[in-house]
Amino acid sequence: MDHEMTEDIQGTLNAIEQHEWLLDWSRFGERVDALEMLEFQILDRIENVMYLHGHRTDLAVLYRRAAQLWLRLTDINTQLFQCLHDELVASTNPAATLRQQVSTYVGKGTLRDPVGYDDLDVLVNGLFGIDTEPEETRPLKPGMIGYQATPARFILDLVERIPLGPDDVFYDLGSGLGRVALLVGLLTPAQVRGIEYDPGHCAYAQQCARHLPVSRVRFINADARDADVADGTVFFMYTPFRGNLLQNVLDRLKRDAHRRPMTIATYGPCTLDVAQMDWLALSGSQEPDDRELAIFQRL
Ligand SMILES: C[S@@+](CC[C@H](N)C(=O)[O-])C[C@H]1O[C@@H](n2cnc3c(N)ncnc32)[C@H](O)[C@@H]1O
């Protein structure tokens, strides 16, 4: 690593260290930025250089400083999440409390990547206690897609655009670690079900739910092809499966849709497949876009 790079790291580190206001709970977005900078622009970089070129004392010193700062800022976030979590649990109106928390700490958020995650996702993971992504505990079958979280802003979009009342039953097909179901359960009065094939992911979601005021949310460890979803009124899929498996699940929904109104919301590549179904109509006049939330109504 050349001198210029060492100076660059030192400059970034000095700047973050001088920003004492990063320790204020209210500076959540800036703290998330600083943590990312420490992780990707300093810690990862130094690790790579030392891995490739061997130990360097000056870099080791910078590394220790950056690691301490990272721990300090992470600790502030942990305290904040605990406080917000306690407030949510004690609230008589968790939906209003959560909306207030989001508006106070995230506002409109900083989109780190147009199709990726933002500060809202960091807040949601912190509140729900999702700190690690567990390994898959059951090998996926052909057509099944592994875990990846829907960016939380699309779930806020979903609850804005689909009026979910106490008579609704919302299903997240392929619910992963439970973020979608938990958010919908907190923000709406609907009954909520998460169907997840992987037993480890399902247990993780159940564990998160135990610590939140979400008595109307249940997680069921099942293959979406076999699960009884006949009471569902609103379904969500973040591309949990494709090909024949997706078609099989859509055929079942189509049979049930004759009996009652049904809304299907999708995100990701499965949107383009669902848009091909002649029994569903995409809400709004736009073309289906796999980078946005799509909402389909039964015709
Ligand atoms: C892309 S992730 C979406 C996770 C979750 N909906 C979210 O947005 O946070 C897809 C999930 O579907 C699950 N899955 C795949 N095939 C499934 C099936 N046939 N039945 C139930 N779950 C399935 C995977 O294990 C994975 O957790």
The enclosing domain of 279 has a CATH number of 3.40.50.150
Which of 156, 196, 252 to mutate for ligand 1's pocket (most ligand atoms within 8 Å of CB)?
196
For position 76, what pLDDT does the model report? 97
Nearest CA to ligand 1 atom 6: 175
Q: Which is nearest to 223 in space by CA: 254, 251, 202?
A: 202
Ligand 1 neighbourhood includes 121 CB (under 6 angstroms): no
- Give the HSE-up count for residue 240: Cα atoms under 13 Å, Cβ half-sphere: 28
The runs of H, that is alpha helices, within the chain are 3-18, 28-36, 44-53, 57-90, 94-105, 119-128, 152-161, 179-187, 199-210, 243-257, 270-274
Can you name the residues that pair with 171 across neighbouring β-strands?
193, 235
Q: How far is the CA of 28 from the centre of ligand 1 (A)?
A: 30
For position 110, what pLDDT does the model report? 58
169-173 vs 191-196, strand pairing mode? parallel
* Residue 58 belongs to some domain of the structure: yes
Mean pLDDT lowest among 23-32, 91-100, 172-181? 23-32
pLDDT more than 90, % of the chain: 81
CA distance 1 to 10: 13
Helix axes 179-187, 119-128, angle to 10 degrees: 90
Of ligand 1's listed atoms, the one at least distance from the Cα of 237 is 6
Domain stop point among 123, 138, 173: 123
Quick one: 55 and 170 in the same domain? no
Ligand 1 neighbourhood includes 201 CB (under 6 angstroms): yes
Convert the pLDDT of each residue in 20-65 to its tens digit: 888 889 999 999 999 999 999 999 999 998 899 888 888 899 999 9
Q: Examine the pLDDT at 111 and tell me if it is beyond 70.
A: no
* Residue 132 belongs to some domain of the structure: no
Report residue 260's pLDDT band, with 50, 70 and 90 as the boundaries: confident
Quick one: 175 and 258 in the same domain? yes
Find the domain containing 185 and state its range. Answer: 152-298
Quick one: 98 and 12 in the same domain? yes
Which of 117, 238, 251 to mutate for ligand 1's pocket (most ligand atoms within 8 Å of CB)?
238
Instruction: Give Cα 14 to chain centroid, integer Å.
Output: 32
Ligand 1 neighbourhood includes 8 CB (under 6 angstroms): no
173 by DSSP, 3-state: which?
A: strand
Q: Which is nearest to 229 in space by CA: 170, 280, 277?
A: 170
Q: How far is the CA of 176 from the centre of ligand 1 (A)?
A: 5
* Residue 137 belongs to some domain of the structure: no
* Residue 188 belongs to some domain of the structure: yes
Q: Examine the pLDDT at 115 and tell me if it is beyond 70.
A: no
Instruction: Provide the number of structural domains found in the chain.
Output: 2
Nearest CA to ligand 1 atom 14: 174
95 by DSSP, 3-state: which?
A: helix
Convert the pLDDT of each residue in 136-161 to its tens digit: 999 999 999 999 999 999 999 999 99
Neighbouring residues of 82: CB distance < 8 A, sequence distance ≥ 6 = none
Convert the pLDDT of each residue in 124-140 to its tens digit: 999 999 988 889 999 99
CA distance 62 to 42: 8
